[in-house]
Amino acid sequence: MNDAYLNFVNSPFGARLAGSLGLPKPEVLRRYHADRPEFEGLVAVGAGPQPRILDALAGMIARTGMTGVAHESAGLWIALAHRHGLMTGRFEPVERGSTQGRMSALLFDATGIEDVTQFDSLYAFFHDALRSLGKCGRIVVFGRPPQGCANPRQWTAQRALEGFTRSLGKEARRGITSNLIYVAPGAEALAETTVRFLLSPRSAYVSGLAVHIDTVTRALPDFDWKRPLAGRRALVTGAARGIGASIAGVLAAEGAHVIGVDIPSAKDALDHTMRELNGTPLAFDIAAPETPAQLAAALDENGIDIIVHNAGITKDKTIAKMTETAWHSVIDINLAAQERIDDALLEAGTLRHGGRIIGVSSISGIAGNPGQSNYATSKAGVIGRVQGMASLLGERQITINAVAPGFIETQMTAKIPFAIREAGRRMNSMSQGGQPVDVAQTIAWLAHPGSAGVTGQVVRVCGQSLIGA
C-alpha cells in the first residue's frame, strides 16, 4: 500500500514545507536490491575492555568488502584487521553538516564489560561517532548473554546494553537501525549471518532487537552466500498474497524451491505466485482436519527443510461482542493449525534434521490490543510454541523462531480505519509502516543454514514500534 505522506515529504516541495512547519520527515528506507551492492562504505569499530569478538568480527567485515576504521577505544582493531587482510585506518569524526565520509555502520564490542564501572568507552565511542553515521546507517552492539554471566555484576552490565542500544535507535532516526547481538562464548563464528543481516539493507525495518547466538553441536553445512538456500525446500502457508507471497519470493530468490499453501478460494492467486517462482502450489485450508496428513503425504517423497507458518486471519471485536465462531476460527487458523501441521511433519520425519520452523506472530501478541483478544491470544501462542519447542527440536538440530511484525503495508492493514492506520504507521522510530519484504527478509535470515545458533527467539519487525516495547 502507498504511504502518501512519506512520498510527499520526500518530494522537493514537501520537504521544504515539512521543514518550515516542523513536521516529521520519515526517511525513504534503503532496501536490498540484487543489482546494488549490499555492503559498502566505512564501518567504525569501538570496544570496551577485553573485547572477545573483535577477531571474528574483523574476518566478517573483511568478507563483506567493507572498510573498518578504529575508534581509539578499539586499539586492537588495526592489527586484527591487517591479519584478516582488511583495509583499515583510524576513525575521524565527520564535520557537522558534511555528507562526505559518513559511516555506514558503528559496531561496538561490549563482550568484555564485567561491571557497570566499565561503560566509559561505550559512552565515548557513541558520543564521538553517532553524528558521523549516515542515513539508513547501522548500529550493532555485541554483548554476552546475561543468563550465562559468571556473577550478578556482569549480568547487570550486560543486560544494561539493551536499554542503551534501544535508546540509540530512538535518538538516531534518519532510517538508522540499532540492534544488540548477545553472542555466547564459543559462538563467535556463528554470528556471521546475523551480523550480515543487521548490517544489510535487508534489515531496513528491524531495530531495537536483542538477539542471542548460541553454540551448536554440529558443524555448519557448506553454503553459498549468494544463494544460501540452494537445494532446500520451503513450505510457506498463506503464500497467495501479502506477506506470504513476499516470503515465497525472497526464499525463492535465495535458491529455495517453494511449496506455497493457501485456501482453495485463493487458488488462482496462489497458482500465479508459484508460477512466477517455479514453485509448487498446494490449495489446502490449513485448518481442515485432514490437511496435516495430506501435507505430510504430499511432501513425503522429497522432505522439507523450512516451514513458514504465515497464514493468518483477524476477526476483531471486543470480547463481549465476539462470537464463539470468531474466537475459535482465529485461534484455530493462527495457532492450533500450526501445532497440528508441525506434529504431522515431525512425526513423519518430513521436516529434515537441520531444518527451520518460523512462525509469524505480531506485536499484538506481545502488547495485546483492544478488540483483538482472539488474535493476540493466537499470536502470543505462536511465541509460546517457539519458546516451548526450541530445546526439544534442538535434538534434531532444528531451529524454531517467530517474527513479530508491527504495522506492515498490506491488504490486511488497508482495512484499518484511517486515524488508527495513521497512528500505527507513525508510532515507531522510522515514522512509517514496513513493507512485506521486510518481514520476508527477516525470515530468510532465520531460514539461512548459517543461522543455526539462533533459536527460540522472537524477532520484532516493527521499525522499533512504541507498542509493546
Q: Which are the catalytic amino acids?
A: 375
Nearest to 447 by CA among 204, 255, 239, 201: 255
- Please identify, using beta-carbon distances, which residue of 74 and 341 lies nearer to ligand NAD: 341
- Please identify, using beta-carbon distances, which residue of 154 and 431 lies nearer to ligand NAD: 431
Binding residues for ligand NAD, rule: CB under 6 A, are 237-238, 240-244, 261-263, 266, 285-287, 310-313, 333, 360, 362, 405, 407-408, 410-413
Taking residue 148's Cβ as centre, other Cβ atoms within 10 Å add up to 14
Cα pseudo-dihedral 448, 451, 452, 457, rounded to 10: -110
C-alpha–C-alpha distance, residues 66 and 88, integer Å? 9
Q: How far is the CB of 332 from ligand NAD (least distance, A)?
A: 8
Q: How far is the CB of 298 from ligand NAD (least distance, A)?
A: 14
CB 264 within 8 A of CB 287: no
Q: How far is the CB of 269 from ligand NAD (least distance, A)?
A: 7
**Pairing mode, strands 67-70 and 88-90:** parallel
- Please identify, using beta-carbon distances, which residue of 154 and 373 lies nearer to ligand NAD: 373
Taking residue 242's Cβ as centre, other Cβ atoms within 10 Å add up to 20
Q: Which residue in this structure is represented by grid cell 463481549?
A: 320
- Please identify, using beta-carbon distances, which residue of 111 and 310 lies nearer to ligand NAD: 310
| The C-alpha cell that represents 395 in the structure block | 535434538
Q: How many residues does the chain have?
A: 469
How far, CA to CA in Å, does 313 sit from each of 117, 290, 303, 332? Answer: 49, 20, 28, 10
- Please identify, using beta-carbon distances, which residue of 134 and 433 lies nearer to ligand NAD: 433
Q: How far is the CB of 9 from ligand NAD (least distance, A)?
A: 22
Residues in CB range of 18: below 8 A, 6 or more apart: 9, 24, 25
- Please identify, using beta-carbon distances, which residue of 80 and 308 lies nearer to ligand NAD: 308
Q: How far is the CB of 426 from ligand NAD (least distance, A)?
A: 14
Neighbour-count burial for 98-122, b at 16+ CB within 10 Å, e otherwise: eeeeebbbbbbbbbbbbeeebbebb
Residues in CB range of 393: below 8 A, 6 or more apart: 357, 399, 400, 455
3-state secondary structure of 329: helix
Q: How far is the CB of 266 from ligand NAD (least distance, A)?
A: 4
